[in-house]
Structure 1
Amino acid sequence: MRLDDERRIKGFDGLRAIAFLFVFISHKFHQGTYASLGGDGVMLFFALSGLLITRILARTRVAVEAGETTTLAGLGRFYLRRSARIFPVYYATIGFFLIASLFVHFDGFEGGAPAAIMLYATNIYVFTTGHWVGHFNHFWTLAIEEQFYLLFAPLLLLTPSTAARHICVAFVVLGLVTQAGLEWAGASTKVIGLNPMTGFGYLALGGLAGLNLDRRAPAWLVSMPAQAIVALALLIVPLTVLKDEIVWRFYAPAVSAAAALLVFEIAENQASRFVALLETWPLRSLGRISYGCYIFHEFIHFYNVEAAARKFGLVFEAPDWISAPIELVFTIGLATVSWRFFERPIMAWAHRATPKAAPAAA
C-alpha cells in the first residue's frame, strides 16, 4: 500500500472495537487478571492513531514540497479536521459535568482537575499531584494524543519529507530513554506510564509502521497466520505473563511494538481472513463509534440504572455478572446517538470546509 493511498484501511475499525473492549473489560472487571488487558487496548489505539496521523502529515508534506499547498494551509487543515473529530464530544461531556457539578459532587472533579481535563493535561495533573481524577482517569490517554498532535504535526510539516522517519525514530528512542531513566530513578509506575514522552514513543512506533507501508514487506510477515499470532499474543500475554500491572509497565515498549506490528500487518495484507473477521458488521460498527464509547464508558454504571429504577418504584435483583453487559449496551447506545446526530455531522462539515490540497499561490 502506497503512502499517498487515501482509501479506507480495512480492519482498522474492527481493531478499534477490540481495543475498546479490552479497555472496557479492564475497567469493569476490577480483578487484577484483566487490568493489563486495558493497557494492550491503549497500545492498539496509540498504534492506530500514530500510523494514520503520520500518513496524513507525511502526505501533506509531500504536497507542500510539490507546491500543491502551503505549510500553513496543511497545518490548518490537519488541526481543523482533528479538532472536529475529537473536541465536540469531549467538551460536550466535560460541559455536562461542569454544570452537574454545581449540584452534585463528582469524585476527583475538584480543585485543578477540571481545568487540567479541559486543557488536555489530565496525565500531567495526575502524575504531578499524585491524585487520580475519579471516573475521568481514562482521559489521560486522550491528553497524550493531543499533546503529541501539537508537537508532532509542526515538526513533520516544517521539515523535509525525508526527515519523517528520523523524527519518528527520535521520538521512539526518547521514549525508551525516558522510561529507562525513570525506572532507574525509582519513579512510580504512575509517573512512568503517564509521562508524555513515553506515550509519544508509543505513538511514533505506529508512525514508523505507517511510513513503511510503501515498502514491500515479506509475505510471511504480513500473512494471515502472522496476523493471528500477534493478535492472540496481545490477548493472551496480558492475561498470563504480564497480568501484573507493574510487570506489564516494564514490558510496555514490547507490547507497543507488537501493536504497531499488528496494524502494519493488517494494512499491508488487506485480503486475509483475519481482516475479513475484523470487517464483520458488529466489529466494524463498534469500531466506528469507539471514540464515543471510550469517553462514555466510565460514566455509565449499573448502580445508577438501579437507582433510577427505584425512583419509579421498580426494585429488582440482578446477578453480579449482568452489570457489565448492561453497561456495555448503554455505552454503545449513547455512543451511537452521539455519532449519528452529533459527531458525524461535525466531521462532515470539517471535510467540506477543508478540501484536498489545491495548488499553492504563485
Structure 2
Amino acid sequence: MTELEARRRMLALDGIRGIAVLLVLAHNFDVLGGPLSRVGTLLDRLMDGGWLGVQIFFVLSGFLITGILLDGRREAHYYRSFMVRRVLRIFPLYYAVLCATFVVVPLVTGHAVAGHEHQAWLWTYTSNWAEPFGREVPLFPHFWSLAIEEQFYLAWPFIVRVLSPRSLMRFCVGLAVAALLSRIALRAAGLGSAGPYMFTICRVDALALGAIAAILFRSPHVVAVLSARRGLFRGLTLGLILVTVLMSHGAPRTGLLMQTVGYSAFAVTFAALVLDAALSSHDEPDALGRVLRLAPLRSVGKYSYAMYVFHTPLHRLVGLPLLARITAGAIGPVLGLAYFTAATVATYVAAFLSFHFLEKHFLQMKRAFEPRTA
C-alpha cells in the first residue's frame, strides 16, 4: 500500500471514529423528559440509540490494533514497540484525570468525590468487572469500555504473534461465539443486563470481528472481490443493520434480543462498514467516502479519545446544574437539541485543549519506538 493509499484510509477511519463519538455523546447528553410530542419521542429514541457508538469503537479498535500487530509481526522489539506506543497514547490523559479527581480535588476542597472508595477499579482498568456489582464512581461510569480495550491491548499482541492469519481468523470466530454464548447464559440465569453489557468476555465479539476485517483487508484476493462488488457488499451491510434495528424494536441497549444476537449482529455490520471504509483507499471516494473525509468529522475523530473521557464529567458537573437553572420542567426537542449541541461543542473544546497541551507531547515520543525490521 502506498503512503497516499494509507493516508486515504486513515481519513475515512477518522470519520468513522468521529461518528462513533458523536453517537456516544448523543446517548449520554439525552436530557429529553416529561410528556413528549411525536417528534420529541422519535428524537429521544434516536439519541438513546447512540450507545451503538461504543460498539463501533470496539470494532474499529479490533481492526486497527490487529492491523498494526499483523504488519509488525516480524519487527524487532515487537512487544515493546506496541506496548510503549499504546501507553503513550492512552495513559497520560487517563491517569491525569484520575489524579486530578482523586488526589488534587480532595487536597483543594477537603472532600473526596462520590464513589472514591471504588477508585481502585479505575486505576487498574478493571472497572468493567466492578460496575455491574454497584462499585461505580458516578463521574466515570463510561470508563468500563476503556477497561475492556486496555485488557484487549494487553493480551492481543501475544495471540497475534503466535497464530498464523488463518488460525487467528478461527480464533476470532471462536471468541465471537463465546461472547454470544456468555451473554445468553447470563441473561438465561437472570443475572441482569449490566454484566452482558460490560464484561469483557461478553463484548469481545466486536473486537474479534474488527480483527477479522483487518485480516481480510490484507488479502489481495478478498480486496479485489469486495472492490468489484462494492455495491452489493454495502447493500447487504446496510440491510442487516436495518433488519437488526427492526427485529429488536429500535435497538434498545439492554433489551433481551439486543443483548444476545443483537450485539453480534451489529458487530458484524460495523466490521463490514469499517472494512468498506478501508477499501476506499483503493478506489476514488464515492458519496460515503466523501462524507467520511469531511474535515469537521475527521477533526472530531482526531480528538475523540479526550472527548470520550471528558464528556460525562462535564455533563454531570457543569451541564446538568446549568440546565437545572434554566428549567425545572419537561425538556422538549428544541431545548434538548440545544443542550446536546452546546455540550458537544464544550466537550470538543476541552478535548482540543487536552490534545495540544498534554497528549501531543507524549504522542511525539512514539517516534522513538517505531517498529524496526529484525
Question: Structure 2 length normalisation: TM-score?
Answer: 0.81
Q: Which amino acid aligns with 2:21?
A: F
Of all paired residues, the percent bearing the same amino acid is: 28
Give the one of 199, 222, 229 matched to 2:230: 222
Contact 2:319 2:343 in 1 (8 A): no
Range with bigger deviation, 167-176 or 43-52? 167-176
Contact 2:244 2:265 in 1 (8 A): no
Alignment of 1:258-273 (within 5 A): 258-270=269-281, 271-273=285-287
Summarize the Cα distance change of 1:33–1:135 in structure 2 as closer, same or farther, 3 Å threshold: farther
Structure 1 residue 237 and structure 2 residue 245: aligned? yes
Task: Compare the two structures and name the one with the higher helix fraction.
Answer: 2
Contact 1:222 1:269 in 2 (8 A): no
Summarize the Cα distance change of 1:323–1:167 in structure 2 as closer, same or farther, 3 Å threshold: same
Write the distance in 2 (CA, Å) between the matches of 1:306 and 1:138: 17
Structure 1 residue 151 and structure 2 residue 155: aligned? yes
Summarize the Cα distance change of 1:331–1:243 in structure 2 as closer, same or farther, 3 Å threshold: same
Give the one of 81, 85, 89 matched to 1:85: 89
Q: Residues 264-287 of structure 1, C-alpha deviation per residue, up to 9 Å, x if partnerless?
A: 111113422211111111101110
Offset of residue 341 of structure 1: 2.3
The aligned length equals 340
Structure 1 residue 256 and structure 2 residue 267: aligned? yes
Offset of residue 249 of structure 1: 2.2
Which residue of structure 1 aligns with residue 23 of structure 2? 22
Q: Residues 193-228 of structure 1, C-alpha deviation per residue, up to 9 Å, x if partnerless?
A: 111112222101100011101223334753399279
Range with bigger deviation, 232-241 or 205-214? 232-241
Offset of residue 244 of structure 1: 5.9
Question: Structure 1 length normalisation: TM-score?
Answer: 0.83
Which residue of structure 2 aligns with residue 124 of structure 1? 129
Offset of residue 235 of structure 1: 12
Q: Which amino acid aligns with 2:344?
A: L
Which residue of structure 1 aligns with residue 353 of structure 2? 337
Summarize the Cα distance change of 1:257–1:221 in structure 2 as closer, same or farther, 3 Å threshold: farther
Range with bigger deviation, 287-296 or 166-175? 166-175
Structure 1 residue 106 and structure 2 residue 113: aligned? yes
Write the distance in 1 (CA, Å) between the matches of 2:236 and 2:293: 15
Q: Which amino acid aligns with 1:273?
A: A
Which residue of structure 2 aligns with residue 326 of structure 1? 342
Alignment of 1:1-362 (within 5 A): 7=7, 8-30=9-31, 33-34=45-46, 36-61=48-73, 63=74, 69-70=75-76, 73-98=77-102, 99-102=104-107, 103=109, 104-107=111-114, 109-111=115-117, 113-127=118-132, 129-213=133-217, 214=219, 215-216=222-223, 217-219=225-227, 222-223=230-231, 226=234, 230=238, 233=241, 237=245, 241-243=250-252, 245-246=254-255, 247-250=257-260, 251-270=262-281, 271-301=285-315, 304=318, 320-321=335-336, 322-350=338-366, 352-359=367-374
Summarize the Cα distance change of 1:290–1:235 in structure 2 as closer, same or farther, 3 Å threshold: farther
Q: Which amino acid aligns with 2:186?
A: L
Write the distance in 2 (CA, Å) between the matches of 1:327 and 1:232: 32
Which residue of structure 2 aligns with residue 312 of structure 1? none
Contact 2:213 2:272 in 1 (8 A): yes
Where 2:300 maps in the other structure, the secondary structure is: helix
Write the distance in 2 (CA, Å) between the matches of 1:234 and 1:83: 38
Offset of residue 288 of structure 1: 0.4
The runs of 5 or more residues in structure 2 that have no matched partner are: 33-43, 329-333
Range with bigger deviation, 223-232 or 82-91? 223-232
What is the Cα-based RMSD across aligned positions, in Å?
3.1
Write the distance in 1 (CA, Å) between the matches of 2:298 and 2:278: 15
Write the distance in 1 (CA, Å) between the matches of 2:195 and 2:316: 32
